[in-house]
Every structure is written in C-alpha cells, then in structure tokens.
Structure 1
Amino acid sequence: MSNTETRPAELRCGGDAEAARPADVEVLTARDVPLGGPRAMRVRRTLPQRARTLIGAWCFADHYGPDDVTGTGGMDVAPHPHTGLQTVSWLFSGEIEHRDSLGSHAYVRPGELNLMTGGHGISHSEVSTPRTTILHGVQLWVALPGEHRATERDFRHYVPDPVPLEGGEARVFLGSLAGDTSPVRTFTPLLGAELTLAPGARTTLGLDPDFEHGVLVDSGDVLVGDTSVRPAELGYTAPGRTTLTLTNRGAEAARVVLLGGPPFEEEIVMWWNFVGRSHDDIVRAREDWMKGTRFGEVHGYDGAPLPAPELPNAPLKPRGRTR
C-alpha cells in the first residue's frame, strides 16, 4: 500500500537508548488517513506516530475496514515505489489484486500472506477486485537493516495453517508462535500473527523475551495483560516478557494482530514510500522515481503511476525511539 498523504512527514527513527521505559502496556491510538479521491477509503494508522515509531523492525501499520466498497469505491492505489523495506499484506475479508515491477501478478485473500521486498527499489499497484463487497485488513511495512536495505526485489506468497490456542486459534504468517513457524524469510527476527479468541476466552502466549510486541486489536473487548485495548488501538509491551495473556471479555469473537521483534537499533528516515538512512537517500529515491529509473514498470494497471509529493524544505530533527 502507498502512503498517499500529500504532505508526508519525514521521520528519523531509532536511537535514544536512554529514553524512559513505558508503562507495562502502552496503548497507542490511531489516526485516520484517506487513501485519496473524493470517496476516499480511510485507514487507521498506528505506526509511525510521535509516541512510538517502531516495534522491532515493523515501521508502518495501517488497519482498514470493514469497508463497504459500494460506498467508497474500495482500494485503487496506482503504481508507486518502495525502497529499503518489505510490505506485508494481510486481509480479513475481500480480495486485492497485486501487480509489481518483478512481473508478479497475485491476489491478496483472507488468511494468505503476500510479502514484497522493495530493497533497492520496486513498484507495485493494489486494487480491490470486483468480487469484493467488504474490504477489511492490515497493511504493514518492515524496515530492512542496513546490510540488506539494497537487496534484490522479491515477492512471496504463503498460506499458514491455523494453530489451536486455548480458547482460539492463531495464523502465524511471519516468525514463530505457539509451536508454529513461518518459512517466509525476513531480514531481522520478526513475529506476525492473526489471533482469534472465542467469547469469554483467555489465552496465555509464550514470547521471546528479546522481542518487543504490539497487539493491534481489530475487534472485540480485549485485555492485553490487565490493560483494555479497544478496536483500532495497539497495545505495546517492552522486551523482557516471556508470556502475554489476552482476554476477550465480550460476547462476540475477538481478533487481534500480534507483531514483534527485537528493538531495531538503526536510525532510519521514512518519507512517503521510502525508507533510507539519510535525507539524501530520500532525495535520490524520489528523483529516481520521477525520472522513471530504478523501480521498474508495473504492467497491467489501467492508469498512470502516482507522482511523488514535494519534499519538505529541510529535514526534520532526529526522533529517538521510546523505550
């Protein structure tokens, strides 16, 4: 997915190991962002934000729907570039057609992972299909570490089997949880899983204590530990935990997305659809996209590529990660 904001903020993320540790569970609220157009589909963005810019290498989290596409027109994101990151597409309902400059033509469907590696540069388009009535899911980005940020572009598709939990089940699309491990390669240790909990269910998960975690609540009356986290909010926990208890206090099923990874110690700069290490990296990426070089072409999309927004007049000051 593209960040279609016309004035995207430039963020420097990472560093600042001496900042104060957060509360046991820190609750992050989302902000609404339109994807563009007069009937714009809106997404709820929980990462990045002032309170927290990264969870492990997860650097961007959009949560959208359930969206009736007859009223919004659905998703229609023209070809746009990415560099220095991986995109993770995960749906709860609906279907999205993906095309990229590798020549990949695939569909994002509920319970199926599409992971695209931008590396040195890739471009892609995303369009909800005519078969879609309700579109609902998450779009996530992962920052690539410095030694791999110019890696070759790539695309992977994976369908995880459901894993039983006490009072629910998990689908582990990246990393390891509840005895299941995804075979999909990442460039830093990561965890990504969809969890569903029956009404009144309580489950305790074993965690890697080196990881920090985020619980993005899609639906339900959920406690993360002893903290209430409402739909569209994200509950953050710092490294050091070996277990995490989730409770669904509601009369309906609950669904969350669990993200995790060891703290990402490198400083990165995010702007529009690019992740770099300096303002100059972003300038070069933008120039290459506008010149039609580096990112390749997307074939099969009916329309022009997205133009890059204008850069800010000066880079913003560094923003350290909260600890």
Structure 2
Amino acid sequence: MTATMTAPPAKPVVKARKQSMTKKRREALAAYAFLAPDVIGLLIFVALPMVLAFGVAFFKVDGFGNYRYVGLGNYRLMAGDDQLWASLKVTAIYVVSFVPIAFVVSFALAMLVRNHFKGIGWVRSAFFLPNVVSLVVVGLIWQFLLVDKRGALSKLLAPLGLGDVSFLGTPSLALGTYVVISVWFLMGYQMLVFLAGLKDVPKELEDAAQIDGASAWQRFRYVIWPLLRPTSFFVVVNSTIGAVTGLQAFDLVYVLTKGGPARATSTVVIYIYEQAFTFNNMGYAAALTTVVVALLILCTGVMFAVTRGGRFDED
C-alpha cells in the first residue's frame, strides 16, 4: 500500500491574504483621512474662489454688488492698461532677481549646515527663524531699520557717508531692497528643503567617489548635484509661484512701500488689490487674476517640459 501525498490546506494562505488586504485598506483609509482636511481646504479656499473669479471676470462689478455682463471686455482693457504692463515688468524683474539669488543663498546655507558640529541646531534655527514670523511683523521691523535718516541701518552707515540714503524711498533702490528682504525671509525655508534633499544623497556614493580620487568639486558636480535635481526643481517652481502670487508678493510690499515710491515696487498682485479694493473694479481684478494664474500654469508647464520635472537623464 503506497502513501499518497496530500496538498496542505489552502485556508491559512487565504486567511493571510485577507488579513494583508484588510491591513492595506486600513492604511489607505488612514492616508485618505489625513489628506481629507487639506483637500477640503484647497477645494473651499482655493478651487472654489478660482472658479468664482473666472466667472466674475465676464462682468463689470462695482462696489455695491451690481453686475453687468461685458463678455471679454475686461480682457480687452488689459491691452491698453499701461499701469498693468508696468506692474508686470516690476514683477518680472523681481522674479528674475529673487529666484536665483534665493536659490544660491539657501543652497549655500544648506551645504554649510549639512555636517554636524557643536551648536548646529542653534545655527539652523537662527536661519529658519525669520520664516516663522508674520510677514507683517517682518515688514514693520525692516521699516524701522530702514526709515530715512532715523533708522538703525542709516545710523550704522552714517560713518560711510550713506546715512542719508533712503532705501525704501528711492525708486532705484526700493525694488532691490525688497529683493534682499525677501531673500532674508525665505532663505531658511529653502535651506531646509535643500537640507532634506542632501540627507537623501547616499553617503556611500560620496565615499566611493572620494576613494576613486574625485576632488570636492567633482563629488559635488557628479554625485551631489545630479541627485538634487528634483529638489532644485521644486525650489525653483515654488519660489517662482511665491514671488508672483505668494505672501511676500503682497504683504511685504504693502507694509513696506504700498507699491511706491513712484510705483517702483508695484507688483501685479498689488495692482490687482488696488483694482479690487481701491477702485471697486472687481470684474477687472478677477480677469487679471485669471490671466496671472494662466501665465503661472504656462510657465510651470514649460519648466516641467524643459527639465522633465527634475528627473534624471536616462542616457
């Protein structure tokens, strides 16, 4: 009589699979639960206002809530609006100046505080501290420092003969001063983003390159920098959008100069605010907003296409 081989029961395997699927469902539900507040907030406070602004752009709206359909009339006004084009020029100069300077400064700081040394936590906190302060407070502090002839900076520069320089009251200096303050405010945040990217660079690759005789520059050029492309792309896109529509594009300018002197710091966001709340031209302001958002989407799409979203070259 020969023994017959019998297959083991499949019930334990099926039970394990069901438990695994149940665990995955619980994890997915937990992830959706954590994401839900942000998604709901974005829908209510971002997506819905954007849709409403797009609709209002086709109407002429006064300060009393009277609507009159004008079709594309608000968009046609933009072609002959010299102040709009001047504000776009100021915004473009600010973006072209702020984005690369902030990028280089924050990346240099990240490389500086990358390695651990005594007091590294205090150094990182000191660089990041301006970012946790309200922009209104930041503007007031810098306004106190830069007030003409009586500010702390004017007194410090007095021995050099620069005590009478009006950094916020001179059209040729106001925008540059605004760029410097913006870089000072955001360099800590971007430093932390770069620092997080540097933490993901495998130390083994750097050690292997060093063993092979690569210099510090070669290790940076061929090991660190390629691995930081996604992080660099995020920083550039995020800082570009923030420079056009972020808090520093409105709050900081409004507190420091309110768009002056001689509209030297009048960004496109300041101009939209003036049209909406100073001249009660809500329809035109909504049209301007939709155009600015469309331009940002276009620029972001171009950056994605050119850099492939910061991904590595496959060749």
Name the TM-score, length of structure 2 as normaliser. Answer: 0.21
Higher relative helix content: 2
Q: Between Structure 1 and Structure 2, which shows a larger proportion of strand residues?
A: 1
